[in-house]
């Protein structure tokens, strides 16, 4: 398996634009997580899914953020409209969630909003 795949690796956008980050989890993993990493706040859990269903989105900073998982092999994190303070590295991770609960991380998407 190629691991968790995120795209794009880098995204630069202007304030006010819509941004969509994409994630393909490892096949067979039931859990998918979106994290945001900044210098100030470290790694924050934004939202996680179990079997494509959002379980906890309490970490989503505000209504400008939304996440979907239309099927077991794809998830998106959307920011509309984007703001400079959204600049961060966004990580997607997946896990089997039973027994071995190790999470496997993608390489991250570095988002810069100017």
Partner 1 sequence: AQSVTQLDSHVSVSEGTPVLLRCNYSSSYSPSLFWYVQHPNKGLQLLLKYTSAATLVKGINGFEAEFKKSETSFHLTKPSAHMSDAAEYFCVVSDLNRDDKIIFGKGTRLHILP
- Residue 81 or 87 having the CB closest to partner 1: 87
- Residue 43 or 80 having the CB closest to partner 1: 43
Does residue 103 contact residue 93 with C-beta atoms inside 8 Å?
Answer: yes
Select from 108, 57, 106, 63 the least CA-distant residue to 83.
63
Select from 111, 96, 98, 113 the least CA-distant residue to 1.
96
- Residue 48 or 65 having the CB closest to partner 1: 48
Using the contact rule CB under 8 A, the part of the chain among 15-23, 29-37, 62-70, 71-79 near partner 1 is: 29-37
Q: Is the dihedral of CA 20, 26, 31, 33 positive or negative?
A: negative
Site for partner 1 in 47-86 (CB under 8 A): 48, 50, 55-56
Positions touching partner 1 (CB under 8 A) are: 31, 33, 35, 42-43, 45, 48, 50, 55-56, 91, 93, 95, 97-108
């Amino acid at each position: 398996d190629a691991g968790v795949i995120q795209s794009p690796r880098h995204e630069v956008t202007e304030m006010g634009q819509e941004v969509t980050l994409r994630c393909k989890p490892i096949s067979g993993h039931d859990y998918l997580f979106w994290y945001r990493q900044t210098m100030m706040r470290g790694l924050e859990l934004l939202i996680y899914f179990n079997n494509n269903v959002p379980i906890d989105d309490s970490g989503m900073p505000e209504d400008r953020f939304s996440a979907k998982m239309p099927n077991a092999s794809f998830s998106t994190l959307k920011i509309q409209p984007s703001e400079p303070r959204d600049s961060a590295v966004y990580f997607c991770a997946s896990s089997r969630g039973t027994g071995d609960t190790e999470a496997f991380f993608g390489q991250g998407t570095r988002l810069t909003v100017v």
